[in-house]
Amino acid sequence: MKIFSIVLCLFVVSFGFAQDNHIVKTEDGRRVLLKSDFTWEYIDLEKPVDTKIATLEEPTTNGCNLPLGFEEPKLNSKIQAQLKKGRATMAHVKQKVAKDYGCDVNDVVLLSVYEKKSNASYTLCANGKKVFYKRTGLKILEKGKLF
């Protein structure tokens, strides 16, 4: 009975590996299904509407080409509460960026964030310039700098 169940399990698993279909994205944004018999077909028949072009035509607020209705990404409140003791919250990051680039804290805008408790990566706009900062533990540094 053991041998039969092992053979059956291997047989079922081999079907998963036999499927060599892959989904790829073209330069214009459409998805294509590449089949194992060297044929392909479009999954998305219509080209996706490029929203970047539409937002760039709107008037911008500063040199980072932000649309007028831009909202900063929401942060995890639990992580921010834990970072409060070590002075590494988003408010502290913005203060550091404002100090480094000689601008007001209100002029610093958060564009994107990847955040965990132990580390984070921030993309900000300061004085119309796109800047990248990282947080390791409670230390906040500009990406690419050691000290």
**What are the Cα distances from residue 62, in Å, to 13, 93, 107?**
55, 20, 9
- Which residues, at least 6 apart from 135, have a Cβ–Cβ distance to it below 8 Å? 88, 93, 115, 119, 120, 121, 122, 141
Judge whether 59 lies within some domain: no
| pLDDT mean across residues, the chain | 80
Q: Reply yes or no on whether the pLDDT at 19 is more than 70.
A: no
**Within a 10 A sphere around the Cβ of 18, how many other Cβ atoms?**
8
Both 70 and 137 in one domain: the answer is yes
Look up the domain containing 18 and give its range: 2-42
Whether residue 115 contacts residue 76, with contact meaning beta carbons closer than 8 Å, is answered with: yes
Here the CATH number for the domain that contains residue 96 is 3.10.450
pLDDT digits (tens, 9 = 90+) for 34-92: 887 888 888 876 665 655 544 444 444 456 787 888 888 888 888 888 888 888 888 99
% of the chain surpassing 70 pLDDT? 82
Judge whether 14 lies within some domain: yes
Judge whether 83 lies within some domain: yes
Judge whether 117 lies within some domain: yes
Residue 58: its pLDDT value, please?
A: 45
Q: Reply yes or no on whether the pLDDT at 17 is more than 70.
A: no
